[in-house]
Amino acid sequence: MTTEATLCDQVLLPCEAAELLQITEEELLSAARSGEVHGVCLGSVWRFARSTVLEFKRQAGL
């Protein structure tokens, strides 16, 4: 497995992160905009690190 493939496996689209958290995509993006969950927004495109999403899930008790 290449480093690039490993990196891509760890970066989640909003729909993937929301599914992992078992919340709607809208709820996830709202939490990201308010700073509750860390994500990166490039223009209108959001991306989330899997490790960050899992940490948010643990802390939020989801």
Contact 60, 23 (CB under 8 A): no
Q: How far apart are CA 46 and CA 9, in angstroms?
A: 16
pTM (global) more than 0.85:
no
What average pLDDT score do residues 38-55 get? Answer: 94
Give the residue numbers spanning the domain of 36: 3-60
DSSP state of 37: S
How many domains are contained in the chain? 1
**Can you give the CATH number for the domain in which 47 is found?**
1.10.1660
Q: Tally the C-alpha atoms within 13 A of residue 35's C-alpha that lie toward its C-beta.
A: 0
| Both structure tokens of 44 | 């209108």
**Cβ neighbours of residue 9 closer than 8 Å, sequence gap 6 or more:** 50
Whole-number average pLDDT of the chain: 88
How confident is the model over 1-28, as pLDDT tens digits? Answer: 445 555 556 999 999 999 999 999 999 9
